[in-house]
Structure 1
Amino acid sequence: MGAGKSTIGRLLSEQLNLPFVDLDREIEDRAGASIPWIFDIEGEAGFRERECAALVEVFQRPDLILATGGGCVLLDENRQLLSTQGHVVYLKTSVEQQLQRTAKDKNRPLLQTEDPESVLRTMAEKRNPLYEAVADSVIVTNGQSPKLVVQEIISQIQVD
């Protein structure tokens, strides 16, 4: 969350001339509702089911750049899909950077709490090892411009 997945994904798709899909937007389009609304009505479990179904569908499309939501790696099915579908880039960022980038964003249901830092730290403890397990590349985005991160991704993909 707040690592720059959507911004970097869009820039990368432009550089590589490939379609860009933001999985969260895909879920919202399919549901006809915002992610906060889905969380309010169906809870995180309901959202994760929708996320998994959308991921399966998106992977039916040919070559693309995909930005997943930050919790996409929580389900085993999603990790298996990600591991077998192309080059996975983990945009790693510190909790401090996440707090700066998400401070005014009201569209992140899990951070609508009095202590978002604690939430982010707990999520990092659980998610970081999962990201690292599925990643083909790990790129630290702290203090990096999106364009610089995109160039680093392109360099790593060309090596593969």
Structure 2
Amino acid sequence: MAQSKTNRSTYMSTHAPHGLRRTIVLVGLMGAGKTTVGRRLAKRLSLPFVDSDHEIEKAAGMSVAEIFECFGEADFRSGERRVIGRLLDGKQQIVATGGGAFINEETRALIKEKGLSIWLDADIDILVERTARRDTRPLLKTGNPREILSKLAAERAPFYAQADIKVPSSDGPHEDVVERIVEALQKAESGKETSRE
């Protein structure tokens, strides 16, 4: 098993499969594992990792929660779009985005044009359990987290479904999700090569 993982990692770095010529952008609801999986994926593929929310906080000098509270969601989304645009224009890397980023039409268009999007799809039970670990989610402070997450999942699924690749984020080791992403990238590259023949 270890040998096959090594072989896959070598394949990814030497053959630059589909998406690695562009920045890989992880999308999905809060709690889907975008940051944790993103860090592991970046290490696996020897690419830099960045979290767009952290970049927004650095640029604003405020936390995401503070931006929401002081300026509202519309201003946050505008700043988010600018930051993600800058990340897509920069070096090749893995980017974890906030749950609402891919819902914004302009941000989604930017990601689809310049990056390769991967939807990490997790069920509600997993999202509730993971988001309960941190009290920093502005959208979950207005009511029952399960109800809010269920509503967001229903509203946002059609947008997330526009991502280039969908990968389930299950309640298991994050390395399993990384494996699924690597395999999906290899499959996409294989299909691309076949279409050229």
Question: How far is 1:59 from its partner?
Answer: 0.8
Aligned pair 1:102/2:131, yes or no? yes
Contact 2:102 2:160 in 1 (8 A): yes
Asked whether 1:146 is paired with 2:156, we answer no
2:164 is the alignment partner of 1:136: yes
Residue-by-residue CA offset, 1:33-90 (whole Å, 9 max, x unaligned) = 1000000001111111110010111111121101010100121111111112232110
Q: Give the AA of the match of 1:111.
A: L
Q: Distance in 1 between matches of 2:71 and 2:114?
A: 28
**Corresponding residue for 1:83?**
112
Which residue of 55, 61, 78 corresponds with 1:32?
61
TM-score by length of 2: 0.78
Partner of 1:22: 51
Percentage of pairs with the same residue? 38
Question: Which whole-Å deviations, capped at 9, do the CAs of 1:82-128 have from their partners, x for residues lacking one?
Answer: 11223211000111110000113111110113311111111111111
**Residue by residue, what CA displacement relative to the aligned partner does 1:123-144 show, whole Å, maximum 9, x if unpaired?**
11111110111x1111111223
Is 1:2 aligned with 2:31? yes
Q: 2 CA distance for matches of 1:145 and 1:128?
A: 24
Find out whether 1:111 has 2:140 as its counterpart.
yes
- Report the residue type matching 2:89 in the other structure: Q
Distance across 1 between alignment mates of 2:175 and 2:33: 11
Q: Secondary structure at the match of 2:115?
A: coil
Moved over 4 A (4+): none
**Structure 2: tracts of 5 or more residues without a match:** 1-29, 189-197
Partner of 2:21: none
Letter in 2 for 1:85: K
Q: How many residue pairs align between the two structures? A: 159
Greater shift after overlay, 102-111 or 27-36?
102-111
Query: d(CA) in 1 for partners of 2:143 and 2:67?
Result: 21
- 5+ long unaligned stretches in structure 1: none
Task: Measure the CA separation in 2 of the matches of 1:159 and 1:87.
Answer: 14
Which has the higher Rg, Structure 1 or Structure 2?
2
Letter in 2 for 1:153: I
Q: Which residue of 1 aligns with 2:26?
A: none
Instruction: Give the AA of the match of 2:92.
Output: D
Q: Give the TM-score normalised by structure 1.
A: 0.95
